[in-house]
Amino acid sequence: MKKMPEDYWKKKLTPEQYRVLREKGTEPAFSGALYDNHEDGMYKCAACGAELFSSDTKFDSGTGWPSFDNPVNKENVILQDDNSYGMRRTEVICKNCGSHLGHLFNDGPKETTGQRYCINSCALDFNPQK
Ligand code: FE
């Protein structure tokens, strides 16, 4: 999608979603609606609706944020170095709309990818499988 003006996002998103998605914020752990969701379905970008993560890849990380060991398609996300707050992290961004989703860590399940996509619940919309 073309780059949308911040006014568009301000109208479309809740203040908390705007802070996270557009200003690279982080929601408090265990505060979101989806970290403990175990239903089958698809997790989409809360800003633009792009498909990001399948419930097949979700696991309980104990961190209080929805955690996945793989995106549904590597083409749908951008991974970018993030050295803010004195930490070296990898930021996860929605490729379609450029919104901040969360961070990628390498302490995920060893039996699968070993990766942990740590994603803000409010950055996601969940579509249950029909
Ligand atoms: Fe998006």
Torsion region of 49: left, alpha or beta (phi above 0 gives left; psi -120 to 50 gives alpha): left
Q: Where are the domains of the chain?
A: 6-128
Which residue in the block uniquely carries the two structure tokens 């919104």? 99
Question: Token digits for 124?
Answer: 């996601």
Q: Which amino acid is at 123?
A: A
Residues within 5 Å of ion ligand 1 by Cβ?
A: 45, 47-48, 50, 94, 96-97, 99
pLDDT attached to residue 1: 87
* Average pLDDT over the chain, rounded to an integer: 97
Ligand 1 center from residue 50 Cα (angstroms): 6
Annotated catalytic residue, options 45, 94, 97, 118: 118
What topology is assigned to 6-128 in CATH?
Answer: 2.170.150
Indicate if 118 belongs to the active site. Answer: yes
**pLDDT truncated to tens, each residue of the chain (130 aa)?**
889 999 999 999 999 999 999 999 999 999 999 999 999 999 999 999 999 999 999 999 999 999 999 999 999 999 999 999 999 999 999 999 999 999 999 999 999 999 999 999 999 999 999 7
